[in-house]
Chain A
Amino acid sequence: DVKVTQSSRYLVKRTGEKVFLECVQDMDHENMFWYRQDPGLGLRLIYFSYDVKMKEKGDIPEGYSVSREKKERFSLILESASTNQTSMYLCASSFYPGPHSNEQFFGPGTRLTVL
Chain B
Amino acid sequence: SQQGEEDPQALSIQEGENATMNCSYKTSINNLQWYRQNSGRGLVHLILIRSNEREKHSGRLRVTLDTSKKSSSLLITASRAADTASYFCATDGASGSRLTFGEGTQLTVNP
Contacts and interface: CB of A to CB of B under 8 A. Distances in A.
Interface stretch (B13-21, B43-51, B58-66, B70-78): B43-51
B44 A106 contact: yes
Interface residues of B, number: 25
Contacts of B88: 42-43
Given A58-B98, A90-B43, A104-B43, 16 more contacts: A35-B101, A42-B2, A42-B101, A45-B100, A48-B98, A99-B97, A101-B30, A101-B99, A103-B33, A104-B45, A105-B45, A106-B43, A106-B44, A107-B42, A109-B41, A109-B42
Interface of B: 2, 30-31, 33, 35, 40-45, 48, 88, 90, 92, 95-104
Main secondary structure, interface of B, reads loop
Interface of A: 4, 33, 35, 40-43, 45, 48, 58, 88, 90, 92, 99-109, 111
A70 B75 CA distance: 40
A85 B103 CA distance: 19
Contact of B42 (A41, A100, A108): A108
